[in-house]
Amino acid sequence: MNKSGQLGTKAESAVVKVLTPNGFPHCERRRLRGANDAGDLTGTPGICWSVKGGEMSRTASDLDVQRWLGELATQMGHAKADVGVLVVQRKGVGYDNAHRWWAIMPACQIVALSTVGISGGPATFPVRMLLGDAVTLLRAAGYGQPTAEDDVAIAEQMLPAGVEVLPPYHAGAA
């Protein structure tokens, strides 16, 4: 097995050690399935897991995470899973502390899961996201004030097909 495969095996095994005593007793590493990749772990019905460990994960960029989430979406289809979880090893957090690695899911999944409730009260644990995504979420919920781009988008929706909205004229602008 190559070094990348060894790191993957080690990271996947670390996540299995977290899941098995925490409600997923049948969780285990999945055998490779080639083009029909259904995630890295099995034995957790309805959930597809993609695990990233080693230096690549500890230094992952936003683009890496987006690419991995795209791959996870494909794997979810192959696994016929309702939920997908991307697990990414954090810098400075070793295999024995995999419970502290990042678990990344699309916001729509987090919303759906949070409405189910957690025994003892509402979900109050932190959810990490990019500031830009938080602003988009807040604006979609009606917070903030309209921007010039919003005004143009609204005007475009109200005009008949084929009519173009020009940007506002600003005196002194070149």
**What are the angstrom distances between the C-alpha of 49 and each of 111, 119, 152, 156?**
18, 24, 41, 41
Nearest partner of 18 among 123, 97, 81, 129, judged by Cα: 97
| List of the chain residues with pLDDT < 70 | 1-7, 33-34, 116-124, 130, 151-156, 158-160, 162-174
Residue type present at position 28: E
Domains, the chain, in order of start with CATH, read 3-122 (3.40.1350), 129-168 (no CATH)
Q: What is the pTM of this model?
A: 0.73
What is the reported pLDDT for 140?
75
CA 140 to chain CA centroid, Å, is 19
What is the reported pLDDT for 80?
95
Long-range contacts of 121-130 (CB under 8 A, 24+ apart): 128/102, 130/62
What is the reported pLDDT for 78?
93
Element (H, E) at 28: strand 28-29
What is the reported pLDDT for 155?
65
